Structure 1
Amino acid sequence: MSLLPVTVVIPTKNEAKNLPQCLSRLSDFAQVWVVDSGSSDGTQQIARDHGARVIAFTWTGGYPKKRNWVLLNERFETPWVLFLDGDEQVSREFINELASALANTDKVGFWLNYTTHFMGKVLKHGLPQRKLALFRVGAGLYERIEDPGWSKLDMEVHEHPQLDGRIGEIAARIDHLDFRGIEHFIARHNSYSTWEVHRRAQLMADTAGAWARLTKRQKTKYRALDKWWFASAYFLGTYIAKRGFLDGAAGLHYALMKFAYFHDIKLKIDEHAQQ
């Protein structure tokens, strides 16, 4: 099989534990770029050892963050870009389906599906993870959010690509497998929850018409984040309605972590309102 006409972009910061497994699966892609935010754990050397191009990135607040910065400032030699996180691993099934999908398509982007690994177990149930992370270069950017430094997140996390054209889907799953442990999981979601509080406050003020550009799912979430029942409803939806209980202890703990995440957001919203 000839190389896929895709540039894989992997945003990183201290991903030494995850990156080797991620990069080892990417030999079928035309280009692999690692966009790094000053890692101190050998991430950049690991990337070079695997033949990836290393691009240094420093965020000073505001727009753009890492993914949009790459799209706006780097010259792509392929018609497609795939954004992978360092803790994501493509499979042979994914590569084969991707090659077939790109061979003759009028789509400008593809939804991707993921298998979550948690506490050493594959989670087969619960709410599935899905991202629009593969699209034609030039078809669009991640939504513009003016973040003056609400958290230390220098990469688009909750922002979504806004594309012009038809969107397809790749059914074969990408493995989401983070080797950095529970401590990192909790710290990361603490940053995410802080970001969500500030983003919600910005949307409630809505001085730039941002609310109208949200998807129906985003609007539902931001309307409910400050409600006392939302974290519990999310837990019940994940663990009961979506049968997360069938994943045993890992499924329970994962659902509880998500409950804690949304409960933290509620408490931070209340604190922010009091201030």
Structure 2
Amino acid sequence: MLSIIILTKNEEENLGCCLESLRDLNLDIYIVDSGSTDATKDVANRYSCYFFEHEFENHAAQVNWALENLPISTPWVMRLDADERLTPELAKELTEVLANAPKDVAGYQVKRRVFFMGRWIRYGGYYPTWLMRIWRTGYGTCEQRLMDEHIVLSKGKIANLNHDIIDENQKGLTFWVDKHNRYADREVQDILKNEAEAQSDTLAGDQFSQAKQRRWVKTNLYSRFPLFLRAFIYWLLRYTIGLGFLDGTPGLIFHFLQGFWYRFLVDAKLYSIRMEKQTPLVQSGAAAMNQVSSVATGSNQ
């Protein structure tokens, strides 16, 4: 009935919890690994997963490679991250819903419930986050971008499931910070690419979704505010009006890092790149001024 695709690289700390949540489901699990040097493969083998290796280019390309090359024979496909797991309620719901899905429904959205430092992040506009994660085989592809990529359906309607995916990374705060530093690099590349090609940063497909709405707000509202100031405004709104303060001390850390520090870091990297592009102009202008000064000095002698 269902095949699950999980992308991995050095995920031995997370993968066990993910696969354990799938144990009672009758499904095919495909691991697409990009060069793990830890015990990721051993964990996958313990749960009888199909294990494939493919060089990593970016997340979207890896997902699309999996969709095009894995021997998927089930009518439905689901994408799951190694640090995510199904709630028992969602596992039961999947079994019931997919067996009786209306023919015009091509995909299902699920809610993501993020845990940070052991705390469920319920406020600050962070829950529920709806993600299109289950779709009919052959109907979905991953949009080509480096960051914040989503599955886009070629046809059909999207329906919502009632229960959650849990997102809880086991690798600690230092890994989280390093990962978001890399995310910032990818997001900056997407921004610069869209600027260079004069592209509208919209989510493809006819379906209205939370992801499409949020991207519209980010492109048409957030991006119009000044660099750096917008990160502070976003965090302030999220933490106060969005009630992020109700998430306790872990929430304070999460909302500050994810809502302010990360967004500020993206702006800082954008600013740095734009300044570097202006440097040759500044240098050539300074050289021209030196030449003018030399001529003026010579004429006065």
TM-score by length of 1: 0.87
In structure 1, runs of 5+ residues without a counterpart are: 148-156
Q: Which of 96, 111, 130 matches 2:109?
A: 111
* Aligned equivalent of 2:30: 33
- The CA RMSD measured in Å over matched residues stands at 2.0
CA distance in 2, matches of 1:57, 1:66: 8
Task: State how 1:1-275 maps to structure 2 within 5 Å.
Answer: 5-27=1-23, 28-59=25-56, 61=57, 65-105=61-101, 106-126=104-124, 127-128=126-127, 129-145=129-145, 157-163=147-153, 164-206=155-197, 209=199, 211=201, 215-223=212-220, 224-225=222-223, 227-258=227-258, 259-275=260-276
| Contact 2:60 2:143 (C-alpha < 8 Å) held by counterparts | no
Letter in 1 for 2:140: G
1:63 shift after superposition: 9.5
1:25 shift after superposition: 1.4
| Contact 1:239 1:251 (C-alpha < 8 Å) held by counterparts | no
Higher relative contact order, chain-length normalized (CA < 8 Å, sep 6+)? 1
Indicate the SS of the match to 2:214: helix
Indicate the SS of the match to 1:250: helix
CA distance in 2, matches of 1:261, 1:133: 25
Provide, for residues 128-185 of structure 1, a one-character-per-residue CA deviation record: whole Å limited to 9, x for no partner.
Answer: 233111111111211124x6xxxxxxxxx51111112200111211111111000110
Number of matched residues?
259
1:211 shift after superposition: 3.8
In structure 2, runs of 5+ residues without a counterpart are: 205-211, 277-301
1:76 shift after superposition: 0.9
Indicate the SS of the match to 2:130: strand
| Contact 2:112 2:165 (C-alpha < 8 Å) held by counterparts | yes
Indicate the SS of the match to 1:270: helix
Provide, for residues 4-30 of structure 1, a one-character-per-residue CA deviation record: whole Å limited to 9, x for no partner.
Answer: x11111101111111111111112041
Provide, for residues 233-260 of structure 1, a one-character-per-residue CA deviation record: whole Å limited to 9, x for no partner.
Answer: 3212322222121111011111111110
Q: Structure 1 residues 129-138 or 192-201, which shifts more? A: 129-138
Letter in 2 for 1:111: Q
Q: Evaluate the alpha carbon distance shift between residue 187 and residue 212 of structure 1 in structure 2; reply closer, same or farther with a 3 A threshold.
A: closer
* Aligned equivalent of 2:209: none
Structure number with larger C-alpha Rg: 2
TM-score by length of 2: 0.80
Q: Of Structure 1 and Structure 2, which has the larger fraction of its residues in helix? A: 2
| Contact 2:109 2:160 (C-alpha < 8 Å) held by counterparts | yes
